[in-house]
Amino acid sequence: MRLTTIRITGEDRTTAARVDKKHYTLLPHADVGALIASGPEWDRTAAAHKGERIPLHAAETTDPPLIPRRVIRAGPNYPTRAKELNQPRPAEPPLALMARPHTLMGPRAALPLPTPSDPGTDWGVELGVVISRPGRDIPTITALRHVAGYVVVNHLCAGGPGPDSSVRPSVLLMGATLVTPDLVPMGGRGLTLTSTLGGRLVQRANTSDLCFDVATLIGHASKLTALRPGDLLTTGTPGGTLHRPLEGGLTLHTAITGLGDIDLSLTAAQGA
């Protein structure tokens, strides 16, 4: 399934929806996060639901599909990222736990920058994994059973990459659609990730290049903390962004094949 949170045109409310071929099927939940938290059979219920339908053009998908309960960041988790940071390939999954991002934005957003050019911002396309089932000390062999779905994310953190990212000001952008595991290769492998900045390709990689795959990350994250439905695990960004400062007037486009994309318009803050 493809699930999203829509804002119905002319109405001040959001609702979770299943994306069908030519329409949305509305689900009885305010967003996809509430759907996932509704019980262990949430996915079967959503797949079988035959509620109200509206045309695709009658709603907006400008909101993120869910508000993550927590964010668990991995990185560096691509060899190219470790290399550009002048670090060795990690010996174990490098994970950091965040309560929540300071700002959460959807797939079409505008962000004012504090300066015309900010080389100290850590950013990049990432595969996001949303947790559906609780667990602690989850064995790697069964870890994928805890995945609700996959989503494209771009996590911007002030101050550059480093282990203290959990306490730095951050903006988390999420694509509009959460794609359930039945429509994605096992473990989210084999997906192409790209980023363009001002129309120039700056990142291109494949999720098969991850140092630690999704199942391994879930297993290690569940040793760090008990996982709960609605937790978001971001799997790390590939190399290519370290020496790419973000500047007002540019558009940052991040995408993962089969999952969706994010367009972020960068604007100069007033007085910058």
DSSP state of 227: B
Half-sphere exposure of 108 (CA within 13 A, CB side): 4
Structure-block tokens of residue 167: 């306490």
Q: Under 8 Å CB-to-CB from 233, ≥6 apart: which residues?
A: 71, 72, 74, 128, 129, 130, 131, 214, 217, 218, 221
pLDDT at 245 over 70: yes
Stronger pLDDT, 269 or 186, i.e. the higher one = 186
SS3 46: helix
User: How sure is the predictor about 104, in pLDDT bands with cuts at 50, 70 and 90?
Assistant: very high
User: How sure is the predictor about 11, in pLDDT bands with cuts at 50, 70 and 90?
Assistant: confident
pLDDT of residue 269: 67
pLDDT at 119 over 60: no
User: How sure is the predictor about 246, in pLDDT bands with cuts at 50, 70 and 90?
Assistant: confident
Find out whether 52 and 213 touch, Cβ atoms under 8 Å: no
pLDDT of residue 168: 56
Give how far Cα 93 sits from Cα of 209, 212, 219, Å: 14, 6, 10
User: How sure is the predictor about 117, in pLDDT bands with cuts at 50, 70 and 90?
Assistant: very low
pLDDT of residue 115: 57
pLDDT of residue 248: 86
DSSP secondary structure letters along 72-92:
EEE-S-SHHHHHHTT-PPPSS
Give residue 249's Cα distance to chain centre. Answer: 24
- On average, the pLDDT of the chain sits at 91
Helices (H), the chain: 32-36, 42-48, 79-84, 214-224
pLDDT of residue 270: 61
Give the separation between CA 262 and CA 105, rounded to whole angstroms.
10
The least confident of 43-47, 170-174, 230-234 is 170-174
pLDDT of residue 161: 55
Q: Name the E strands within 160-259.
A: 170-174, 177-179, 192-197, 200-206, 232-234, 246-247, 251-256
Give how far Cα 155 sits from Cα of 18, 106, 125, 168, Å: 25, 12, 8, 12
Structure-block tokens of residue 26: 């509305």
pLDDT of residue 229: 97
Q: What is the pLDDT of residues 132-146, one digit of tens each?
A: 999 999 999 999 999
Q: Determine how many CB atoms are found less than 10 A away from the CB of residue 209.
A: 14
Span 209-235, mean pLDDT? 97
pLDDT of residue 163: 47
Query: Is the pTM here over 0.75, yes or no?
Result: yes
Give the separation between CA 184 and CA 270, rounded to whole angstroms.
42
